[in-house]
Structure 1
């Protein structure tokens, strides 16, 4: 007779599957599956060129004993310097916030769209002050897919923010603002983290779609649960962004110094030293979920429903202790992990059963989720 693990102490097998998922995203070398929400094509080209160059350098180094010794020494020192700087910053949520893209106005905007009756006039100045968000919204409303929302008599681009927001409407802004916010927090245009960013983005999209479906099924606040599901990866996104910033600054400085000194062996050693993905993965496991709510509290959103859900998800010892809203986010996240690991044959049927048992999935919930299209989040 099978023993149920539903809702109690998280079994080791569930922890193992969840860690395998994050390791696949951050450390794994697999490229992300093609999705509708693609990132910078130039970064993809740069990533492929950088990997080819690094492989060529490593092959040359392996053929020369002296160069190999220099490579090992320099690479170890560079990696240690980067890891220490990352660890120092992540030990202080205040430092993390200071070096992140996270701003009070972004969270205030998300808070406003969650209100029962959002005020577009109050939201517009906040959106106008976030140049990346204004740009993304204007680009979206002028895209061919959105033409039905614009005047039919003209192909003129709509650039006035007030008109753009009126065309989009409050209900669509409830989807778009958290969506574009997470994209802004993720690393962008960086060859070293291109595939990691794409995989984390896909995981976030599957989680958000699953959260929407479950919230609708249980007749709960869809906007709150959807926003919480996306912000569940905010801490991880900030860790990745801050870590790649530290790495790029250190790696670039060492490259310039080796170039100025015309030391080709040291230059090659620095060039071949990769972003310390394993160490960053460990930092994500240690700090990712706690930073979700700690950063919001530092921005004076301690009493926000978003903060409360994210704090529950980090601190609750038992799944059954979570509020219904937090349970839905946790279920959506766990379903996304199972779904994405299944795509690449990295989860066994028995592990899938344990995941669904622990997170107390009902047959109705599984059927609802299996009916979803996880290739695209419907925005406009």
Structure 2
């Protein structure tokens, strides 16, 4: 007789699959293609060039015993420096928050949009005060794809935030604001982390779209599950962003010093040193989901529905004990894992069954989720 794992204690296989997914996202060498609206698209040439240069240096180093010893010493020292710095920040969430780009106004905006009837009088000035968000919305509404939202009688660029919000509409804002915020919190402008950033963003988007679909299926308000699904990678984004900034600061300084001193061995050793993905992966596994809600509490949003759902998902509840919104996010995240791992033959059929059983997927839910377009956000 088969033993059911549905909804109870998380089986070891499920935990193993989750680690495998993050290993693929952070440590894996797969070069992910850009999704629609990729803000790092211009970095691809730099990232590829960096990979090729590192590989060439590594081949040369492998043939030289002394040079290889220098590389190992330099690489270990740089990795340790980065690791110590991020450990220091992780021990002090307020310090991590300071450099994260996550700000009170952004979370307040997300919170206000969860209201049944949001107050645009409060929302509008917050959006206006966030320059990058205003810019993203202006770019969107003036793009060819949004031509049908603008007045047909005018070709003048729209820049007035009040008009822009009216053209976009409330339901679309509930999709776009969390989308733009989550994208903004990802590491950006770092060739050393381009592929990881793309993979993480795709995971976030699949989870969010799946959560939206499940909420619709179960006649739930979609914006709570959708927003929480996007913020489910907030902690991971912040850890990665902070880590790559520290790495590139030290890496760049060491490269300049080696170049200035004309020490080719040291220069090559620094150049060949990659972002310490394995160490950062371990930090993500230990702190990522905890930071999702802890950062929001640091900003005094303990009572937010977003914080409550993210905290619930981190508390190792049995799935059957989760609130419906948290359960939807958990299911959506599970389905996203299945999609991403199966794409790279990293999930066995039996493991897939364990995941679907534990999260109590119904045939109807699976059919609905399989029918979604996970490549882009569909606006009303």
Please state which band the TM-score falls in when normalised by the shorter chain: over 0.9
Query: Mind listing any 5+ residue stretches in structure 1 that lack a counterpart?
Result: none
User: In the aligned structure 2, how far is the partner of 1:32 from the partner of 1:68?
Assistant: 30
User: In the aligned structure 2, how far is the partner of 1:159 from the partner of 1:45?
Assistant: 32
Cα pair 1:39 1:198 within 8 Å, conserved: no
1:218 paired with 2:218, answer yes
Q: How does 1:135-284 map to 2 (within 5 A)?
A: 135-284=135-284
Residue 71 (structure 2) aligns with: 71
User: In the aligned structure 2, how far is the partner of 1:226 from the partner of 1:282?
Assistant: 27
> In terms of mean alpha carbon deviation, does 307-316 or 25-34 score higher?
25-34
Q: Give TM-score scaled by structure 1 length.
A: 0.98
User: Per-residue CA shift, 1:42-70, capped at 9, x if unaligned?
Assistant: 21110001111111111222222221111
SS of residue matched to 1:55: helix
User: In the aligned structure 2, how far is the partner of 1:34 from the partner of 1:67?
Assistant: 36
Query: Displacement, 1:102?
Result: 0.4
Cα pair 1:316 1:322 within 8 Å, conserved: no
Cα pair 1:210 1:335 within 8 Å, conserved: yes
Q: How does 1:337-376 map to 2 (within 5 A)?
A: 337-376=337-376
Residue 286 (structure 2) aligns with: 286
Residue 111 (structure 2) aligns with: 111
Q: Give TM-score scaled by structure 2 length.
A: 0.98
SS of residue matched to 1:138: helix
Residue 43 (structure 1) aligns with: 43
Two-structure CA RMSD over aligned residues (Å): 1.2
User: Per-residue CA shift, 1:109-145, capped at 9, x if unaligned?
Assistant: 0011111111122111111111110011000101111
User: Per-residue CA shift, 1:239-268, capped at 9, x if unaligned?
Assistant: 111111111111112112212222111111
For this pair of structures, how many residues does the alignment match? 380
User: In the aligned structure 2, how far is the partner of 1:30 from the partner of 1:260?
Assistant: 34
Residue 314 (structure 1) aligns with: 314
User: In the aligned structure 2, how far is the partner of 1:297 from the partner of 1:73?
Assistant: 40
Residue 305 (structure 2) aligns with: 305
Change in CA separation of 1:252 and 1:67 when aligned onto 2, cut-off 3 Å: same
Query: Mind listing any 5+ residue stretches in structure 2 that lack a counterpart?
Result: none
1:101 paired with 2:101, answer yes
Cα pair 2:57 2:268 within 8 Å, conserved: yes
SS of residue matched to 1:205: helix
User: In the aligned structure 1, how far is the partner of 2:299 from the partner of 2:213?
Assistant: 30
Residue 327 (structure 2) aligns with: 327
User: In the aligned structure 2, how far is the partner of 1:178 from the partner of 1:262?
Assistant: 48
Query: Displacement, 1:34?
Result: 4.7
> In terms of mean alpha carbon deviation, does 48-57 or 367-376 score higher?
367-376
Cα pair 1:186 1:238 within 8 Å, conserved: yes
Cα pair 1:42 1:189 within 8 Å, conserved: no
Query: Displacement, 1:93?
Result: 1.1
User: In the aligned structure 2, how far is the partner of 1:336 from the partner of 1:74?
Assistant: 38
Query: Displacement, 1:379?
Result: 2.8
Cα pair 1:43 1:189 within 8 Å, conserved: yes
